[in-house]
Amino acid sequence: MEIIYCNKKVDKFIDDLDRITSSRVKNSINLLELHGYLLEMPDSKSLGKGLFELRTHGKIKVRVLYIFHKDKIYIIHAFIKKAWKINTRDVDYARKIQSEIIRLV
């Protein structure tokens, strides 16, 4: 499946990570591109209502939020996970972008 980055902030965030973490995130995105809807735990998890998190494991836990829309994968948001539960601000931001994508594309 084709991957589309919704904004340059996500790409810059990934590039600004340390070399090992950045490599892990890029490998996870490649897995997502290869397997699409079939990617499951522990690599991908549904957050409900069509929003998913790509889970990168290691010393630094990075989460990449994405959606599927019209046979494409839209990478919406990425952040370092610091707490057990994902911050609601991150999910709210991703849902806002999700609704814009669905409305415009």
Give pLDDT, residue 87. 87
Give pLDDT, residue 84. 86
Report how many domains make up the chain. 1
**CATH classification at residue 83:** 3.30.2310.20
Q: Note if the pTM is more than 0.75.
A: yes
Give pLDDT, residue 1. 87
Domain that holds residue 73: 2-104
Average pLDDT along the chain, 105 residues, taken 10 residues at a time? 92 94 96 95 95 92 96 96 89 95 89
Phi and psi of 57, rounded to 5°? -100, 160
Instruction: State the number of CA atoms in the 13 A half-sphere of 93 facing the CB.
Output: 15
Q: How many residues does the chain have?
A: 105
CA distance 60 to 79: 10
